[in-house]
A and B are shown apart, each in its own frame.
Chain A
Amino acid sequence: EVQLVESGGGLVQPGGSLRLSCAASGFTVSSNYMSWVRQAPGKGLEWVSVIYSGGSTYYADSVKGRFTISRHNSKNTLYLQMNSLRAEDTAVYYCACTTSGAFDIWGQGTMVTVSS
């Protein structure tokens, strides 16, 4: 079964750091484009970052310089390292497999709350 399972969310103080993980099963992370998408409480979807199969990475302006996307091929896992967190980063974070310009496989999401 094709599946993505996120973990690592939680409560963190402003300025703090958190690393999210996304474990894949049924397909290979390194052979696909993989993205992070977030959704603030009561708000819409916001694309955050993507890592292409070749290793190129891209970020939304709102997180550039603070977030880093990466993957561990042997663990078949995607990561999002989040530093210098702000209140506006509070959201449910989803990982998604990206094929033909679309997000076709989604995880269940992990909640990140940035608050003192």
Chain B
Amino acid sequence: QSALTQPPSASGSPGQSVTISCTGTSSDVGGYNYVSWYQQHPGKAPKLMIYEVSKRPSGVPDRFSGSKSGNTASLTVSGLQAEDEADYYCSSYAGRPYVFGTGTKVTVL
């Protein structure tokens, strides 16, 4: 049960965009449209930001968007704001049944 691969860090200035990748295999990311993304601030529980690759739960700003191509999913945060600074994790249904990504720390410069 190998974790999905994410870059350890990403950064951008306020107002800019940042994109985080999440690479898996045909047995997880590439095989199902059940990729989700989570935001976690220090000491807090994760919060669902994107589900089923590109859907946003109620209350999540439309600055957050998701996509997938083959075995790689992506989360884009547009119009970066200070409160977007956090750790982000992807997850995929994998038939095993679930697997998380390694996590990416997003810094707002």
Contact = CB atoms under 8 A, between A and B. Distances in A.
B106 to A, nearest CB: 14
B94 to A, nearest CB: 9
Interface string B27-56: 000001011101010000111100110000
Interface residues of A, number: 23
A50 interface: yes
Contacts of A61: 1
Given A94-B45, A100-B34, A101-B36, A60 B1 contact: yes
Contacts of B34: 100-102
B93 A109 contact: no
B51 A104 contact: yes
A102 B52 contact: yes
A108 interface: yes
A104 B52 CA distance: 12
A100 B51 contact: yes
Contacts of A99: 51
Interface of B: 1, 3, 32, 34-36, 38, 40, 45-48, 51-52, 57, 89, 91-93, 96-103
- Nearest 4 A/B pairs, CB to CB: A101-B34, A102-B51, A102-B36, A44-B103
A58 B96 contact: yes
Given A101-B51, A102-B52, 6 more contacts: A45-B89, A46-B100, A47-B99, A47-B100, A101-B52, A103-B36
Given A106-B46, A108-B45, A35 B98 contact: yes
A40 to B, nearest CB: 12
B46 A104 contact: no
B91 A102 contact: yes
